[in-house]
Amino acid sequence: MKDGDAIRPDGGLPAASRTALRGPAVRRLLALRAGKKLTAVHVRVAADALGVSERTVWRWLATAQSDERAAANPGARSRVDARFTVTPEVRGLLALWKGNVRAVHRELVRRAARQSLPAGAPSLTTLHRAIRRDLAPGERAGLAGGERAARKHDVFLARPRGWRNQVWETDHMQAPVLVDVEGRARRPWITWFTDCATNAVTGVAVTPGDPSRESVLAALRSAVLREDPYGPFGGVPEKVRVDRGKDFLSRTVTAAFDLLDVTVEDLPAYTPHLKGTVEGLNRAVEGMFLAALPGYARQPRPGKRASRPEDEVLLGFEDFTTQLLARTLWWNTEHRPAPLRGRTPLEAWQDDPTPLRDVPAADLWTFTLEDAGTRTLTTRGIRFRKRDYVGPWMTGETGIQVRIRFMPHHDHRIEVYHAATGRYLGPADLADQATDEQISAVRRARSARARRLKKDLEASQRERYAAVNQPEAPQRLGALTTAQAEAELAQTADSDLARLAMLDLIPPAAPPADWRTPASLAALTTPGSPIRYPSGRDGASAPDGRDGRAAPPTTDEDGDAS
C-alpha cells in the first residue's frame, strides 16, 4: 500500500482521498454561502475532514469566489498555466523518435537554439514529468510502439455467454513445433472450431503444409458431425466468426455455410480481441501442450544463435496428430477453464438444454464439396481439368449429363451426381494415375529446378558497390569485357518480343474529316495521308477517292465486301 493510501491513526481518510475531496467540499461550501447558510461550523467540519486548518479552507473559498477554475482543484500550486505541457510538436517528436524522451529533448534544445529569439527549452526532468502527467500510458506506448502496443493498455468488454452453438469461432494456427513430414522438418498448421459458450473444441484439422479451404472444410465436417469419433460436441451453429483469411472467405467455404444456414461474421483486420475464445485457445495449447513436445521451435537454448540439437528426434506427422487429438479430448472432458467456474466444457455442454441441429453425414459431405459444373459421360469417362476419371458404376451410363463436385486439392478422386435429378452416382478415380515413386521423383525434380532458378535469380540481381569512408557517389563494381556485354545484349534482344514488334509497318492515317476524333488520338496520326487497304489475292489495292483518301469498299447483294 502506498503512503498516500494509508489510513490515518485517528481514523481519518487517506491523503489521496482527502485531496480528491477538496473540490467537492469547496463547491458545497460555496453553495451554502450563496444561500446565506454558511457558518463557521461548516468550515470547521470541512477542515477536520480534509486535514487542514480552518484558515486554509477560508482561503480556498476566497480564491474560488474570484476564480471559478480554482474551485476545481483547491490548494493546487499557483501559475498552473506557466507549467510546461506536451504540445503537438512534442507528440510528433515522440512518434518520430519511438518514445525516446532524451532524443526528443535534444531536438527541442536544437530547435530553441535556431530561433531568431532564443527561447529556453525545458529540462529533461521537466519533459519527463510533463509526459507522465499529460499522456496516458496507452498514448505513450502507442507513440513508441504503434497501435498494437497501445492496445495492451485498453480495457476490453467481455461478451455475455450465450448458449451452445450460438456462436463459433475459427482460426488457423501454425504450431511452433517441427514435425517430420516425409523426411523434412515442417511446422504443421492447425485449424480449430470452438464454441464460445462452453469453450469446447468442436472440430480440428491438421495440415502438414500451408492450410487451404480444404483444411477449413475438413475441420467444419468434424465440428458439425456428432457421431463417433467426433461427438458429442457438434451440430450446426447459428453464427461463425472468422478473420479476413482468404481460406475462410473462399467461394466454396461460404457456399457451405450458406447451405447450412450459418451466418458468417467477417471481423475487421488486425482485431484478434474480437475472437478471444479461439485466440485464447491458441495461446493455451502452446503453453500447456506444444511446449513439451520435441522440436519445439521457441525453446530457450544456450548460445547466441538458437539452433535445434542435431541428435533431437522429431515426432512424425501421424504421432503429432495423435497426441494433438488426445490433448483436444483432455481439453473437452477434463480441463476446467476459469470462465466455466469449475466445470469442464463437456459438463457445460450437457447442462445446456438448447436443442441441436444435425445434418446427415452424406448431406454434409455434399455441402462441403466444390461444384465444378456439368460434363458429359463419354466412353473415356469424365473429362475434368484435362484428365480422365473413371469408375465401375459408369458401365452402361455413357452419354448422360453429370455434375461434378470435388474436394479442393484432392485431384485423385471426384464425386459425380446426375445433372437432372441430383442423385449421387458414385466416385470417379483418376485414370492412369502415376505411382507414388513417380510422384516423389517429379516433386524432387521440381524442387531442384526451383532451387536452381532461385540461385540464378539471386546471382543475376546481386549488385556490389565499393565501400567508401568519405561522401561520394556510389560506385558499382563488376567489370565486363566488350565481347561479354555484346553477347548478353544480343541474347536479350532475341528474347525480348517488344523489340521484335514493327510499330511503323502500317503507319496510321488520318480519319475522315466528318469523324469526331479526340485531340489526343488525332495528334498520333499523319494529316492528309491516304488510307491503305490491304491488297487482295491478285495484289491490287483499293482505288483512291476524289479527295485523295481511299475509296470505301463496295458491298454486293449478298453483303460481302468486294
Strand order in the sheet with 382-384: 370-376, 401-406, 413-418, 424-430, 387-390, 382-384
Domain positions in the chain:
15-72, 88-151, 167-299+312-351, 369-443
CA distance 78 to 401: 91
Consecutive 10-residue averages of pLDDT for the chain (562 residues): 49 76 88 90 90 90 82 66 83 93 93 79 92 93 90 86 94 93 90 94 92 91 86 92 88 91 90 88 92 87 65 89 93 92 94 93 86 90 90 89 87 89 90 79 83 80 75 78 82 65 69 79 62 46 45 44 38
| pLDDT confidence of residue 132 | 93
Q: Which three cell numbers stand for residue 204?
A: 480440428
- Going 234 to 236 to 242 to 248, the CA torsion angle's sign is positive
| pLDDT confidence of residue 539 | 43
DSSP state of 343: -
CA distance 57 to 46: 8
CA distance 65 to 45: 20
Q: What CATH architecture applies to the domain 369-443?
A: Roll (2.30)
CA distance 77 to 373: 80
| pLDDT confidence of residue 533 | 46
222, 309, 365 from 369: Cα distances, Å:
14, 43, 7
Q: Which three cell numbers stand for residue 473?
A: 557517389
| pLDDT confidence of residue 304 | 59
Alpha helix stretches (DSSP H) within 403-481: 436-461
Query: Of 166, 168, 188, 163, which is closest to residue 178 (Cα–Cα)?
Result: 188
Helix (H, G, I), strand (E, B) or coil at 562: coil
Tell me, letter by letter, the H, E, C secondary structure of 254-303: HHHHHHCCCEEEECCCCCHHHHHHHHHHHHHHHHHCHHHCCCECCCCCCC
| pLDDT confidence of residue 500 | 66
191, 196, 240, 249, 504 from 262: Cα distances, Å:
18, 15, 7, 13, 60
Comparing 167-299+312-351 with 369-443, is the CATH topology the same?
no
For residue 135, what are the contacts with CB-CB under 8 A and spacing of at least 6?
86, 91, 143
Whether 214 contacts 232, CB under 8 Å: no
Helix (H, G, I), strand (E, B) or coil at 403: strand
| pLDDT confidence of residue 540 | 43
CA distance 500 to 506: 15
> What count of residues does the chain have?
562
What CATH class is the domain 167-299+312-351?
Answer: alpha beta
Q: What is the CA radius of gyration of the chain?
A: 39
| pLDDT confidence of residue 498 | 63
Whether 183 contacts 193, CB under 8 Å: no
- Put simply, whether the predicted model's pTM sits higher than 0.85 gets the answer no
